[in-house]
Amino acid sequence: MKQIYFLLFSWVIDFFYFLRGMKTLFIFIGALTFLSFSVGAQNYPRPDIDIESFIEELFAVQDEDLEYEDIYEAMFQLYRNPIDLNRTDREELRSFFVLSEKQINSLLNYLDKNGKLLTIYELQAVPEFDLFTIERMLPFVTVRDSGFEGDTRPLFRRIISEPNNYLIVRHERIMEEQRGFTAPDTLSDGRLSSRFLGSPNKIYSRFRTSHVRDFSFGFTTEKDPGEQIIWDPETNRYGMDFYSIHLYLENKGRFKKIALGDYQLQFGQSLLLGAGFNIGKGAETINTVRRNNLGIRPYTSVLETGFFRGAAFTYELDERWDLTTFYSNLNQDGRIQERQDSLEFGIVDDFITAIQITGFHRTPAEIEAKNAINEQTAGANLLYTSKEGSFQGGFTAMGTQFSTPIQRTPNNFNQYEFNGSQNYNLGAFFNYNWQNFAFFGEGAISQSGGKGAIAGFAANMSRYLEMSMVLRSYDRDFHTFYGLAFGEGTRNINEQGAYFGVKFSPNRQWTLTAYYDRFRFPWLRFRINEPSSGFEYLSRLSYRPKRGMIIFAQFRQENKALNVSQSDLTEEDMDLFFLPVAEGIRRNWIVNTDYGVGRRVTFKSRVQGSSFDHYQTFNTGYAIMQDANVDFGKVRISTRLALFDTEGFQNRQYAFEKDVLYAFSVPAYNGQGVRNMFLIQWKPTKKYHFWFRYARTRYTDGREAIGTGLQTIEGSSRSDIKVQTRIRF
């Protein structure tokens, strides 16, 4: 009970400081709320999407290398801003990864022959469309018989009366005390050990209002656990720790898109500019391997890097040519160090070893690094689209300037990484559609002279068979800061590879997907002390016996080189200067069943496991999960019970959990234990929505502490709560 009282008291204190630091922001929200109610706009809420289930179909095996928040955010952007099928194009239809090239061609031909759709139900008349495909695409599309072109009211009036808007406020907290929030220890030299300066509470808020092909306006704020809500300009802290705001306009005369504030860009195959949502290899082996020319997109996530801050616009030069220009002035985190060279008469130069991307500002050292480096980026893209829309080609030029040079600490594998204060890139790309084939490619060069290239195709070979292929080559000195092209690594550098994917659907019930990817790293990588190569393959067999039920089995194997750990060395290896390299074999398997009992009760049963074989080490791990979801109309309840037993860090198990709207949860099951999750969702009216989530992991492997460093929890259990409300005006 004492812990509960302490928790409630800390919430009150945090909320008081939140109000004091955000006074101006709440005045603005209040005015916006009043205006929204005063115009008497009707609210037409769209149904919530089960985004976890949708994303699970696209991924192979969840792991720590994926930017889940960016992926989650991009999918919800598509959900909250559905594509108008009467005003769409090929690139938009590819963006939500549901439709094949054959289906896209069929829909566009249907629209060309029969005119605009009268209702969403008319999709059943489109050749090559089945009920399952239509159900999957419904959350991301709409049909409008009249667009914003008929609304001549001023922009501000349209914004405040738009029914597609919401305000979200969320609070999260780990119930157990972490070391960073305890009293500091006295070190041997008399100094106090480092501790977090702020409270354990995480506070998040977001407002957004948008209308398809017209505008989007919104802001996002966040305070992470351990961060302070404080107004201190000297340390670049102004109330909440992170702010993001955007104003995004479309179709303003010849200006197709205008972005002010925070935004992202995606062109070609994302070799130079990628907007965050790039899945790559997964159980969807065809539609996710290529990228789309999405152009400018508003940024609304809370990841504190990987976006632009400034202005961008796309201008229609004529019917075939579009010009996009952009400028960004963004402060990044980095710890500035001094280097003194006696040969230069004692001149001291400032430098950083890397840009910090965690976004945490909890300790004095992290606060000192906040916004310490200024990054300016400018560039342009010229895009050509043929009359019939079957061919697109473009050129991209961009440059980046840092206020403080980057000088990495030299080691074996980073000798060809970027060093310096400026970089530029030049690139060209194309997309060509011929019948049911979609060909694509992009090539680019960086200031270092390093080159990157990617090319491939996706095709419907027959009514039942789809295929894809991707070839890529990224030099070891190819430097691109915003590239997210297809690849094995998380960055487009030091990699060559060939990917082959296939999807076979003999009928509407059975689907077999598979891919094989062969890759090579011409230079050393982190924890790999020599040039290496490897391969990966996956296969998934899915069965849908009836609506609302799916059963699938999946297997993936990855063979990749890895340094032998010091503890595994033999006596003969002890004299080696470098750690030797040996092939590591990781195998993952999943058996999953989703099924419903009536319309209100659904279940998910899953068993998944893995093994890791490397040098003289072989270990395994598994997890068993059972979900139950009950829908009472205004109240929805979701639960999970998970049992896990894993050996070694390489066999930790990942799986999506139900979470509050616009949030995600992918816990790592590592060790031996039990995890419980409970989520209640209450919707008393169309305008108000509430969530409460509680999750607890209890380890049974005898451990006395959880986590490391300042995030250490003394004990064998960890529990967290999450409370969220959404208001539609």
Residue 42 vs residue 500, higher pLDDT: 500
Answer positive or negative: Cα dihedral of 53, 492, 430, 379: positive
pLDDT band at 412 (very low <50, low <70, confident <90, very high): confident
* Overall average pLDDT of the 110-130 stretch: 87
User: Tokens 């390093």 identify what position?
Assistant: 450
Residue ending a domain, among 148, 178, 193, is 148
User: Residue 514's pLDDT is what?
Assistant: 96
User: Residue 20's pLDDT is what?
Assistant: 44
Q: Tens digits of per-residue pLDDT, 581-606? A: 999 999 999 999 999 888 889 999 99
Q: What angle do CA 456, 459, 463 make, to 5 degrees?
A: 165
Answer positive or negative: Cα dihedral of 33, 37, 38, 40: positive
CB 648 within 8 A of CB 621: yes
In a 3-state reduction of DSSP, which class is residue 374? Answer: strand
Q: Is residue 512 part of a domain?
A: no
User: Residue 210's pLDDT is what?
Assistant: 86
Q: Report the distance separating Cα 396 and Cα 179, nearest Å.
A: 48
Q: Tens digits of per-residue pLDDT, 554-564? A: 999 999 999 98
Q: Is residue 581 part of a domain?
A: yes
Q: Is residue 594 part of a domain?
A: yes
User: Residue 63's pLDDT is what?
Assistant: 53
Number of domains in the chain: 2
CB 229 within 8 A of CB 321: no
Range among 43-52, 80-89, 409-418, 671-680 with highest mean pLDDT value: 671-680
Q: Tens digits of per-residue pLDDT, 676-685? A: 999 999 999 9
Q: Tens digits of per-residue pLDDT, 481-490? A: 999 899 998 8
**Distances 362 to 224, 229, 713 between C-alpha atoms, Å:** 8, 11, 17
User: Residue 305's pLDDT is what?
Assistant: 86
Complete DSSP assignment for 468-497:
EEEEEEE-TT---SS---S-SSSSSSSEEE
Amino acid at 343: L
- 136 pLDDT more than 90: no
- 68 pLDDT more than 70: no
User: Residue 90's pLDDT is what?
Assistant: 84
Answer positive or negative: Cα dihedral of 293, 297, 303, 307: positive
Q: Is residue 135 part of a domain?
A: yes
User: Residue 46's pLDDT is what?
Assistant: 43
Q: Which residues contact 339 (CB under 8 A, 6 or more apart)?
A: 348, 349, 350, 351, 407
Q: Report the distance separating Cα 211 and Cα 153, nearest Å.
A: 14
Residue 382 vs residue 94, higher pLDDT: 382
Q: Tens digits of per-residue pLDDT, 538-550? A: 999 999 998 888 9
User: Residue 280's pLDDT is what?
Assistant: 73
* Overall average pLDDT of the 700-724 stretch: 94
- 53 pLDDT more than 70: no
DSSP 435: T
Q: Is residue 702 part of a domain?
A: yes
Q: Tens digits of per-residue pLDDT, 179-209? A: 999 998 877 777 888 899 999 999 999 999 9
Complete DSSP assignment for 639-658:
EEEEEEEE-SGGG-EE----
Q: Report the distance separating Cα 5 and Cα 341, nearest Å.
A: 57
* Overall average pLDDT of the 712-729 stretch: 94
| Residue among 96, 107, 104, 100 nearest 137 (CA) | 96
Least confident of 62-76, 314-328, 461-475: 62-76
Q: For every residue of 143-191, which 3-state class applies, written as one string?
A: CCCCCHHHCCCCHHHHHHCCCCEEEEEEEEEECCCEHHHCCCCECCCCC
- The angle that helices 68-80 and 51-58 make with each other, rounded to 10 degrees, is 120
CB 478 within 8 A of CB 460: no
CB 290 within 8 A of CB 440: yes
Phi, then psi, of 91 in degrees rounded to 5: -65, -40
- 34 pLDDT more than 80: no
- 611 pLDDT more than 90: yes
In a 3-state reduction of DSSP, which class is residue 715? Answer: coil
Q: In the chain, count of helices (H) and strands (E)? A: 9, 35
Q: Report the distance separating Cα 596 and Cα 590, nearest Å.
A: 20
Q: Is residue 346 part of a domain?
A: no
| Residue among 190, 326, 198, 314 nearest 262 (CA) | 326
Answer positive or negative: Cα dihedral of 186, 191, 193, 198: positive
Q: End-to-end distance of the chain based on CA atoms, in angstroms?
A: 37
Q: What is the mean pLDDT of the chain?
A: 85
Task: Identify the domain containing residue 694 by its residue range.
Answer: 517-527+538-729
**Distances 113 to 134, 216, 317, 671 between C-alpha atoms, Å:** 20, 32, 28, 59
User: Residue 381's pLDDT is what?
Assistant: 97
> Pairing mode, if any, of strands 215-223 and 202-211?
antiparallel
User: Residue 56's pLDDT is what?
Assistant: 65
Q: Is residue 19 part of a domain?
A: no
Q: Tens digits of per-residue pLDDT, 142-192? A: 887 554 445 667 877 887 778 778 899 999 999 999 999 999 887 777 788
Residue ending a domain, among 148, 166, 190, is 148
Q: Is residue 501 part of a domain?
A: no
Amino acid at 330: L
> Pairing mode, if any, of strands 495-504 and 308-316?
unpaired
**How many CA atoms does the CB half-sphere of 603 hold within 13 Å?**
11
User: Residue 345's pLDDT is what?
Assistant: 44
Instruction: Kindly state the percentage of the chain with pLDDT values over 70.
Output: 85
Q: Tens digits of per-residue pLDDT, 319-332? A: 999 999 999 999 99
Q: Report the distance separating Cα 379 and Cα 296, nearest Å.
A: 13
Q: Report the distance separating Cα 247 and Cα 208, nearest Å.
A: 10
**φ/ψ bin of 548: left (φ > 0), alpha (ψ from -120 to 50), beta (otherwise):** left
The predicted model scores a pTM of 0.86
Q: Report the distance separating Cα 661 and Cα 679, nearest Å.
A: 11
Least confident of 81-90, 346-355, 519-528, 708-717: 346-355
Q: Which residues contact 49 (CB under 8 A, 6 or more apart)?
A: 79, 139
pLDDT band at 17 (very low <50, low <70, confident <90, very high): very low
| Residue among 546, 487, 106, 28 nearest 281 (CA) | 487
Phi, then psi, of 4 in degrees rounded to 5: -65, -45
CATH of the domain at 708: 2.40.160
Residue ending a domain, among 96, 118, 148, is 148
Amino acid at 659: D
**How many CA atoms does the CB half-sphere of 207 hold within 13 Å?**
17
User: Residue 18's pLDDT is what?
Assistant: 40
